Amino acid sequence: MRAIDAAHFGIGMRHAGYNLYVMGHTGSGKHTLIRQLLDQRVGAEANPADWCYVHNFSQPHKPRAIQLPGGMGTRFHADMQQLVAELQATIPAVFEGEEYRRRLSQIDDEYNERQTQAFGAVGDEANQHGVALLRTPSGFSFAPAKDDEVMSPDDYDKLPDEEKKHIEQEVSSLQEQLEKVIHQVHQWRRERLDRVRTLNEEAVLFAVGHLMDSLRSDYADYPAVCSYLNEAQQNVIESIDEFRHPKQGMSALAAITSEMPDFSRFRVNLLVGRDSIEGAPVVYEEHPTYQNLIGRVEHISQLGALVTNFLLIKPGALHMANGGYLLLDALKLLTQPFSWEGLKRALSTHEIRIESLGQMYSLVSTVSLEPEPIPLDAKVILIGNRMLYYLLAQYDPEFGELFKVAADFEDEVERSADNDLLYARMIGTLVRREKLRPFDRGAVARVIEHSARRAEDAERLSTHIVSLADLVREADYWAAQDQRDAVARGDVERAIAAQIKRSDRLRDRSHEAILRGILHIDTEGEAVGQVNGLSVFQLGDFSFAQPSRITANTRLGDGELVDIQREVKLGGSIHSKGVLILSSFLASRYAAEQPLSLGASLVFEQTYGQVEGDSASVAELCALLSSLANAPIRQSLAVTGSVDQFGRVQAIGAVNDKIEGYFDICSQRGLSGQQGVLIPASNVMHLMLRQDVVDAAAAGHFHIYAVETVDQALELLTGLPVGTPDEAGSLNQRVAQRLKQLAELRRKFAGKDKSDSGDSHANSDE
């Protein structure tokens, strides 16, 4: 309930920074449960907005973002598509129409008439002064004339000088007048162009004005759209030639769409459309790369160059989840370059800014776009393990500000009648969803028992849903092999056995080495300073245990207890801690008032890998005391458990695997009724043993002893009363006597060394 309450709070809290980190073991159903919680909530939430990118006519490299209510974006996109199609059809038709041609002809006629009259007046003036106005390919020129005929050069040369001078003066005067007319004609030409431009604009407005007015009316409540439409209309007017002659207007950066690329700037890039979504969106991004999260600007190759435009802006998961919820796998997110930093930046700034990594880090020189950022209002839910959460909380100062809510899912739940019933209902749900055969009561009970076994606790149930679903499917498979209509307990047992069989090759080889005598493990007889400990090996999801021979050797020394495993760097820190605790126990119990004159060594025989953990410390202490007391230990018993400084036996993990591992060796050698395992009393509640182990124990062929102190373990292992150091015949008395003998020997040798040292000094003085 703690995790569910936290998830409800994190989902419902809409303030900044209250994003959610959901943690727990892989396969515990975190993702499924979060989706269920979201599905219960999102339907009642408001539909999020649509987002579009449109061309920025003033700054083309910075496309504008437009927000519209859900569904309106799709409509706006379609309306602009239709507008472009109508513009392409209507504008050329307008310029081909009779009315346009008539008005254009009227302007041309008026211009031509004014021009003709102006030049005609100059020509008439020239004729009156005996000069002809000639039109040449390069312009106008004047020439002397006689009887309306242009004089030849020879005739002109024959004229008197005075007359030539008069003609030159007249030509000069006429030239000035002609220049004035030409200047005036240029002004008229500009006026004509202005009038033609005005006519064209009127024609275009006549053709498309009602279309634009209709769109402005439809989107009157959205100022951003109306502003864009006004700019688009002005650009249409300024781009008349592109519509009249589309092929001539094509540029190297012609738009990217396949149909009429010249006019793509009037289209709409519908980045996120919500017309088919009811309620807030829930998005799970399977591959959270930087671009998949933030979005990207794509490029295409055109004429050997990479080009782009706003239509190639693609959304990321944050765009799709805007206004709703984004689910991300924390490990996948953190293993993608730049993704974590990009997500944090978006959450911190509350906006989604599409940036090219190549541009950001100057990796490429390709010209790209700078789309206007989009405001972000999304709840991000990270799903990961606990280690990642604590690492992020420790080493990333922004993490705590952005992910303020943690939902920590339990790996186990209490085993009660209500939870057993809920577990049975969950099995039923899996069966119906997977369309499997029904499970009978025995099969359901066995699945629940196996769940308790996975939890390693008879009073708890594992919440690892993936393994539960796998077991249910495999049990259905074995029922199908026997052609049964329902799954029985035996099918579940067979499925469990098959799962183990697929993974136990190394366990079989290990046990074979023991049974063949390659690894020396005694399960009968007695030995001094030797005890069977129990080790667990974890291979992926499969774990198994086998006995390990632990031996101790004691001698005269200065209180040093040598852990051979630690000395050769094959012992972990926790194992070394356990050995040091043994030293403390020995000193406090047997050497409180005298020196501990003991030298001892401990070792796991025939182990060639790392030894870690303190679950063998009881066994090591028993071997050590057996060596000191010269008291044989029953080799038919194996020991597991950790010990504290006061001799109390403490709980350990994998108790079921350890018992079953020793049982397998003993049963293959033959159960004599003497074999058994000593476990901590605090581990009794964790017992969920295989049925063959339970049956053997019930029949007295195998024994499981729960001990609370090391003294109880010693009595079972040696058959001697532990007693006190002063109690005759007790194990403690034998240990105390041995330590006393060692202390006397040490004092004796210390005195002898002192005497020898004194004699040496005396001889030196002489």
- Any idea which residues carry the catalytic annotation? 615, 658
Q: Which residue has the tokens 């379609």?
A: 78
Q: Please give the radius of gyration of the chain, using alpha carbons only, rounded to the nearest integer.
A: 48
448 within 8 A of 459, measured Cβ to Cβ: no
Q: Where are the beta strands (DSSP E) in 234-281?
A: 269-272
Amino acid code (one letter) for 554 = T
Q: What is the CB neighbour count within 10 angstroms for residue 197?
A: 12
423 within 8 A of 451, measured Cβ to Cβ: yes
Question: Distance between CA 31 and CA 348 in Å, rounded?
Answer: 25
406 within 8 A of 23, measured Cβ to Cβ: yes
Amino acid code (one letter) for 588 = S
Beta bridge partners of 379: 325
Helix 161-218 vs helix 72-95: crossing angle, to nearest 10: 150
Q: What angle do CA 4, 456, 619 make, to 5 degrees?
A: 140
CA 329 from chain centre, in angstroms, equals 4
151 within 8 A of 143, measured Cβ to Cβ: yes
Secondary structure element (H or E) that encloses residue 236, with its range: helix 223-238
Q: What is the DSSP string of 681-727?
A: GGGGGG----HHHHHHHHTTSSEEEEESBHHHHHHHHH-S----TTS
Q: Which two tokens stand for residue 67?
A: 């927000």
Residue 312's φ and ψ, nearest 5 degrees, are: -95, 15
CA-nearest of 501, 409, 497 to 446 is 497
Pairing of strands 530-539, 637-639: parallel
Query: Which residue blocks in 544-654 are alpha helix, DSSP H?
Result: 564-567, 573-590, 617-629
Query: Which residue blocks in 502-568 are alpha helix, DSSP H?
Result: 505-515, 564-567
- Tell me the residue length of the chain: 766
Q: Which two tokens stand for residue 421?
A: 């019933």
Q: Which residue has the tokens 């996948």?
A: 332
Question: Distance between CA 23 and CA 31 in Å, rounded?
Answer: 10
